[in-house]
Amino acid sequence: MLSTLDLRNNSFTGNIPATITNCSNLQILELDNNNLVGKIPDAIGSLSMLSILGLPGNILQGGIPPEIGRLFRLQELYLFNNSFTGNIPATIRNCSNLQILELGNNNLVGKIPDWIGSLSMLSTLDLRYNSFTRNIPATITNCSNLQVLELGNNNLVGKIPDWIGSLSMLSTLDLRNNSFTGNIPATITNCSNLQILQLGNNNLVGKIPDWIGSLSMLSTLDLHYNSFTGNIPATITNCSNHQVLGLGSNNLVGNILSIPPTVHWLDLSFNNFGGKLPSLTNSSSLIYLDLSANNFVGSLHNLEIISYRVLFQSVGRSGEIPRTLGSIPLLQILGTSRNKISGGLPSSLLNLSYLKVLDLGRNNLAGIIPPWIGIKLTMLKILNLRSNNFYGNTPDQLCYLSQVQVLDLADNNLSGNIPRCFNNFSVLSGIETNLEVQLSFYLDGWSFIFGDSLVMKGQEAEYGSFLGLVMLLDLSSNKFSGQIPSELTTLHKLNSLNLSRNQLTGEIPNKIGDMKSLESLDYQ
């Protein structure tokens, strides 16, 4: 008389056996996070006692079987993170007791059906990461108990409807990565329990409304990649629980006077903010900071000693790199690219032994490349010193960076021979094969994908989702002399090799043809 079958978080393979429907008393069936394939058996509809059906995190495919609509007692349906295709079957409307419907991260298409509003008991509706089109159906207002509405990463259009405010129980509203237009509707103020508001990467316009501060429970506000104008409203400091504030890539202006001390994640990049860099002396919670591509002036020392958890990316426009950054030992990314940072690399940075990305390209830095980079920063995957004023020989100690995937020293005043020991780069040579497609970073429960602007095939492009697969060595536009070391031909995973505009002599190594992964080679 089996009533519960819980086989979650294993490594089961193959199909879901149709014989499972012989367990007619099953009330809970959870097969989450396995490697199950194939279709859900049509006979699933005979498990009439089911209240929870959980199949997420598998490799199931085909259409969602209409027979699920025969599970009249079903309260929770979890099918996210699979490969289901087609439409949501209309028979699911018969599951009138359904409280949780999670179909995110599949390949579902069509319009979000109007009948979704007949599921009046719904508290969670997750349709993220599919290919749904057209508008959000107004019938969703019938779901008055809805607390979580997640429709992000689809192809939805139109304005964010005013009726969204009638869903007064909402705690999460995720509409990011769609094609919504217009303003943020003021009726959202009726959603007084709202904690997460994600509207990033749409076509929204206007000012960030002053009433945003009335959402006192708000912990996440994501408005990046839109066309918002004006200042950040001062009322935003009323959101005393703020942890994530993403306003990057808009047309915002003004000075940044203060940052709420509870913020973990702050992105104000690619706007038109000006004035002095904001003081972060009270921002001990910060783990991610991006103020790049603005019009800030003054010294970077306004930002010094933040927290040992700070992820410090691309801040400021002038000044020197603060020596106190060496007091943040768990720092994983240090990026001050495309600014006017001057001076040398302070030796205190050698304490950053967990650093994976050092991106200081396109500044006014000068001096020699210090040998301690290779000795102390051995976890580096990306070293970008492009377009500065570094001079002298390239230290052989850089060869200790066995994990490096991107080494860009182009457009400096480096001289001497190209180190023969570059063949010690175990990732670029293919000895190390455990690669990440995405350079993902996880800190205190928050995660993000790091992207960088790189030059390949003579063109500059932004690499994000696949940055972990880019293999690049660029020494162009320097004063290197001597022969091209034959050892470079052992870098079998290299995608792009640029040695152009130097003073190299001799012959091209015979084994250059062994570099089967090369997509771009420039040595003129």
Q: Which of 65, 83, 108 is the last residue of a domain?
A: 108
What string of pLDDT tens digits covers the 524 residues of the chain?
789 989 999 999 999 998 888 888 899 999 999 999 999 999 999 999 999 999 999 999 999 999 999 999 999 999 999 999 999 999 999 999 999 999 999 999 999 999 999 999 999 999 999 999 999 999 999 999 999 999 999 999 999 999 999 999 999 999 999 999 999 999 999 999 999 999 999 999 999 999 999 999 999 999 999 999 999 998 988 888 888 899 988 999 998 866 777 887 888 888 898 887 666 555 556 667 777 777 776 555 555 433 333 444 544 445 677 776 776 777 777 877 777 788 899 998 998 888 888 988 888 999 999 999 999 999 999 999 999 999 999 999 999 999 999 999 999 999 999 999 999 999 999 888 767 666 666 554 455 556 666 777 677 766 665 666 788 999 999 999 999 999 999 999 999 999 999 999 988 898 888 888 898 888 87
Is residue 236, in this structure, part of any structural domain at all?
no
Q: Which of 108, 130, 147 is the last residue of a domain?
A: 108
Q: Which of 86, 108, 130 is the last residue of a domain?
A: 108
CATH number at residue 84: 3.80.10.10
Give dist(CA 384, CA 265) in Å, integer.
24
Is residue 272, in this structure, part of any structural domain at all?
no
Give dist(CA 448, CA 18) in Å, integer.
40
pLDDT score at 283:
55
pLDDT score at 177:
93
pLDDT score at 415:
96
Is residue 492, in this structure, part of any structural domain at all?
yes
Cα–Cα nearest to 247, from 227, 275, 262: 227
The model's pTM is 0.76
Per the structure, the complete domain to which residue 68 belongs is given by: 1-108
Is residue 182, in this structure, part of any structural domain at all?
no
pLDDT score at 306:
39
pLDDT score at 278:
67
- What is the number of domains present in the chain? 2
Cα–Cα nearest to 493, from 406, 420, 421, 386: 406
Is residue 261, in this structure, part of any structural domain at all?
no
Is residue 258, in this structure, part of any structural domain at all?
no
pLDDT score at 144:
93
Ramachandran area for residue 478 (φ above 0: left; ψ -120 to 50: alpha; else beta): beta
* CB-based burial label for 91 (10 Å; 0-12, 13-18, 19+): middle
Is residue 77, in this structure, part of any structural domain at all?
yes
Buried-state track 296-333, b at ≥16 Cβ within 10 A, e below 16: beeebebbeebeebbbbbbbbbbbbbbeebbebeebbb
pLDDT score at 449:
59
Is residue 382, in this structure, part of any structural domain at all?
yes
pLDDT score at 314:
45
What stretches of 26-175 show up as alpha helix (H) in DSSP? none
pLDDT score at 401:
94
Q: Which helix (H) or strand (E) holds 440?
A: strand 440-443
Q: Tokens at residue 437, please?
A: 């497609």
The position carrying tokens 């935003």 is 236
pLDDT score at 305:
37
Give dist(CA 57, CA 8) in Å, integer.
10
The position carrying tokens 């994908």 is 449
pLDDT score at 336:
74
